[in-house]
Amino acid sequence: SSPTDSVDLGFCAREPIRIPGSIQPHGCLIACDMSSWKITHLSRNIETLLSISNAEQLIGGPVENVLRHDILHDVRNVLQASTVSGQAELLPAVTLGDMKADILAHTSGTTAIIEILPGFGAQVSNAPPMTLVRSMISRVKRAPTLERSLTLAANQIRAVTGFDRVMIYRFLDDDSGEVTAESLRAGLTPFLNLRYPASDIPAQARQLYKQQWLRMIPDVFYEPSCLLARPSDEETEPLDLGLATLRSVSPIHIEYLKNMGSSATMTISLIVGDKLWGLVACHHLVPRLISTSISSACELFGQFLSMHIDAMECHRELSHIARSREAHERLITAMPPEQTLFDDITRYEDLLKDLISCDGLGVWTRGVFSGVGSLPPVEMMPEVIAFLDTQQSHHVFATAQIAGHVPSAAAYGSLASGLLAIPLTRAPRDYLLFFRKELPQVVRWGGNPNRPVEVTEHGGRIGPRKSFAAWREEVTGQSEPWRPAELQIGEGLRVSLLDIILRRSDLNERQLL
């Protein structure tokens, strides 16, 4: 049996990643109550980074004991901006003693979270972040297609950050994901077009990534620095680090990255509408810390890229609909009032294929089937129609896998695997049917998707898989999927054809008189 049989993948989704109780040590963290400005939490490494001894003793005391007045003034201003943006916001650059640092602040409930990042991140370019973002945008904006935009975006981010590998990782309908664009240092094995199972990124992580646009793990070998809090105050809730850039990362994910051979990552969310569309995933073979000015430029660019993806996808759907509307008009005008598709579908074959591309077309009327092109055997049709008749809705029905609904259809998948059916009359229902042949696909997975996890021998602890070697899967029995725009076009066609049928029956009655 496969190791996943006995494993509860929900385990991964239950890990409380927002409240790890520790941070990554490339910065330190101070949390204080916003009504009293008294410290509630401190990260242990504040002692080394800010040369403070006995951090415990500062807890419960005023935050002024750790941060100067001018800095606190800026913190208060930035917290206002942060409640509007829902993100941690950057303060104007500060100097602490002789150390330059970036400070980020945001709120979590009634708590202010202040993160201090010493300014030693890698600076690939000295250009101000605004200039970087503007030049990245101008290049990507000019690309003629979405695919090209994504490749340019990956190239741009790699140029600006110096990461070894930058991938655009796109989620598919079943929550698995695919590397759709990649920019990488010479000599590395490409991950382009590899597919990864949904369980690699559990649900609570996806939820969080819709709120936080950018995350960084500068060194997967880090020792977490624990958060100190007032001892055993029953009422103190664990500190929610969901929006904190220093949040310590799930140990399972850390192990995953080590197994993959990555030592550092930076990840930017791509959010389209209210959906996590994908991620920009940057990897480095050795630890790598990026300066805050570069990472915030990338974050802003990620927000632009998200809007650009949305615009390109909308544009593509709209132009598809516009082209079909034209074909629709041609079809309706070509059909004389006393004729319908039922009389001679072959005559309208080309016009119908312009509307919705397909390999075969048919009509089912009063128990009789006629069609053209690649079709299921006629003797199979009653079973398919019987299934369609069980559909409650009078709207268009579409599937890429007829056999998923009518199991005996599996036998003729090479003739017709996909079906889009437009019901034309009520009882008995007549249909206009579009068929698509099977489109055998080879999916290349980054590791065996049937073994997404490893279970350790003792204690049944769950961990990420160890091998990411490409794994081939042949997907058969499915046609090219029907796109949302095609369903819409089908719906429009249903309404016009219904109108023609009504007109004709009206005509017939008048002729009868």
Examine residue 371 and tell whether it contacts ligand BLA (CB under 6 A): no
- Residues 6+ away with beta carbon under 8 Å from 174: 198
* Interface positions, 138-177, toward ligand BLA (CB under 6 A): 167, 169, 177
Half-sphere exposure of 45 (CA within 13 A, CB side): 19
Q: How far is the CB of 204 from ligand BLA (least distance, A)?
A: 8
Residue 80: exposure state from Cβ atoms within 10 A (0-12, 13-18, ≥19):
exposed
Question: How is residue 36 annotated by DSSP?
Answer: T
* Interface positions, 422-461, toward ligand BLA (CB under 6 A): 446, 452-453
**β pairing state of 214-217 and 195-196:** unpaired
Examine residue 312 and tell whether it contacts ligand BLA (CB under 6 A): no
Q: How far is the CB of 262 from ligand BLA (least distance, A)?
A: 7
Q: How far is the CB of 277 from ligand BLA (least distance, A)?
A: 13
| H helix intervals, 203-344 | 203-209, 251-260, 292-334
* Cβ–Cβ under 8 Å, residues 211 and 7: no
**β pairing state of 225-229 and 22-23:** antiparallel
Give the nearer residue to ligand BLA in terms of CB position, either 52 or 252. Answer: 252
> Site for ligand BLA (CB under 6 A): which residue of 31, 184, 201, 305?
201
Examine residue 28 and tell whether it contacts ligand BLA (CB under 6 A): no
Q: How far is the CB of 24 from ligand BLA (least distance, A)?
A: 10
Give the nearer residue to ligand BLA in terms of CB position, either 163 or 482. Answer: 163
Question: Residue with structure tokens 């299934």?
Answer: 387
Whole-angstrom distance, CA of residue 445 vs CA of residue 304? 29
Report the Cα 186 to chain-centroid distance in Å: 27
Binding piece for ligand BLA, criterion CB under 6 A, among 128-136, 151-159, 247-255, 371-379: 247-255
Binding piece for ligand BLA, criterion CB under 6 A, among 197-205, 339-347, 486-494, 499-507: 197-205
Identify whether 128 is preceded by a cis peptide bond (ω within 30 of 0): no
> Site for ligand BLA (CB under 6 A): which residue of 171, 209, 342, 482?
209
Binding piece for ligand BLA, criterion CB under 6 A, among 11-19, 92-100, 320-328, 366-374: 11-19
Quote the radius of gyration of the chain (alpha carbons, Å): 29
Q: Give residues in contact with ligand BLA (CB under 6 A).
A: 12, 15, 17, 167, 169, 177, 179, 191, 196, 199-202, 205, 209, 215, 249-250, 252-253, 256, 267, 279, 281, 446, 452-453, 462, 464
